[in-house]
């Protein structure tokens, strides 16, 4: 049964994230375009260009993914992809704190500590996989428990294990509302993509448009859902960090964020 506190916390962070997204739409789009560019790279490597051009008379291109492309996709996702997405969250955190983020200094900040970022990402993935193997629920709990490990790593300049402990400590007592935020964005993302797919299927039912509908849906998700989600979770992180500060977890001056009632 959901407690009023859990619902209120989740709703507050989601609303605060939407406000940050709306008030800083231009900056959020600028950062999101970097994610779109990375997605285009993955699409190209994965045969997506051939997938799009197939209906135009090139059906053999991109039908089978060669082994080298699979290996490259995995490497890119666990290196560049992880650091770029984490950089976008840090970029959003700077907006949450009322600062002016920089593409070079903030969005690409995780690239200054690549081994630590990748280390946290691997441990996070292993924890979730191990938890999911134990009847799913432990995997969900661990996913929320260590959700802020990456951002804590670069925001507070922690080590790999320190960042995992920091995330565990920050999320203690708040994992249900954080899970509700995650669940909300899963549904929003699914609804957006389903709407786009239905639009293409019903309004533009041609082979070319059907072939690109998934691509368009993913672009819209990167431009709308991902920035809103990043802002919401960074509002949560900042609020939890500020609320925990009196207990002595942090010594430096805390961030300044006003959440809507």
Please give the chain's pLDDT, 261 residues, in tens: 344 444 458 899 999 999 999 999 988 988 888 888 877 776 666 655 444 444 433 344 445 666 776 777 778 888 888 898 999 999 999 999 999 888 888 888 999 999 999 999 999 999 888 887 777 788 888 999 999 999 999 999 999 999 999 999 999 989 999 999 999 999 999 999 888 888 877 776 655 555 577 778 888 888 899 999 999 999 999 999 887 664 444 344 444 444 443
Q: How far is CA 8 from CA 105, 177, 190, in A?
A: 34, 8, 23
* CB distance 235 to 96 below 8 Å: yes
Tokens of 109: 């900040």
Does 258 fall in a domain?
A: no
Does 252 fall in a domain?
A: no
Provide the number of structural domains found in the chain: 1
Does 5 fall in a domain?
A: no
Q: Which stretches does DSSP call E strand in the chain? A: none
- Report the pLDDT value the prediction gives residue 208, as an integer from 0 to 100: 52
- Report the pLDDT value the prediction gives residue 248, as an integer from 0 to 100: 40
Q: How many CA atoms lie within 13 A of 113 on its CB side?
A: 21
Q: Which domain holds residue 51?
A: 10-247
Does 255 fall in a domain?
A: no
Report how far residue 226's alpha carbon sits from residue 250's, in angstroms, rounded to the nearest whole number. Answer: 29
Does 171 fall in a domain?
A: yes
Does 4 fall in a domain?
A: no
State pTM to two decimals: 0.80
- Report the pLDDT value the prediction gives residue 80, as an integer from 0 to 100: 85
Q: Is the dihedral of CA 154, 155, 161, 162 positive or negative?
A: positive
Q: Is 247 exposed, middle or buried (0-12, 13-18, 19+ CB in 10 A)?
A: exposed
Does 140 fall in a domain?
A: yes
Does 57 fall in a domain?
A: yes
């Amino acid at each position: 049964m959901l407690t009023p506190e859990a619902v209120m916390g989740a709703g507050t962070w989601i609303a605060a994230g939407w406000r940050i997204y709306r008030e800083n739409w231009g900056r959020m789009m600028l950062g999101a375009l970097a994610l779109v560019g990375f997605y285009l790279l993955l699409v190209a490597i994965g045969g997506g260009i051939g997938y799009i051009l197939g209906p135009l008379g090139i059906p053999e291109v991109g039908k089978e993914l060669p082994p080298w492309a699979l290996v490259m996709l995995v490497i890119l996702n666990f290196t560049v992809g992880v650091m770029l997405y984490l950089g976008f969250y840090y970029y959003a955190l700077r907006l949450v704190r009322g600062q002016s983020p920089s593409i070079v200094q903030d969005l690409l900040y995780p690239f200054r500590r690549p081994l630590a970022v990748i280390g946290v990402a691997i441990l996070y993935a292993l924890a979730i996989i191990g938890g999911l193997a134990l009847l799913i629920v432990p995997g969900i709990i661990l996913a929320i428990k260590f959700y802020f490990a990456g951002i804590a790593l670069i925001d507070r300049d922690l080590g790999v294990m320190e960042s995992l402990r920091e995330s565990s400590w920050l999320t203690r007592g708040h994992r249900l509302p954080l899970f509700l935020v995650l669940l909300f964005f899963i549904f929003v993302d699914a609804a957006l993509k389903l709407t786009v797919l239905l639009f293409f299927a019903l309004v533009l039912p041609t082979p070319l448009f059907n072939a690109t509908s998934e691509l368009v849906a993913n672009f819209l998700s990167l431009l709308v859902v991902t920035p809103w989600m990043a802002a919401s979770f960074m509002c949560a992180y900042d609020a939890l960090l500020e609320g925990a500060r009196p207990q002595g977890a942090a010594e430096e001056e805390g961030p300044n964020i006003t959440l809507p009632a």
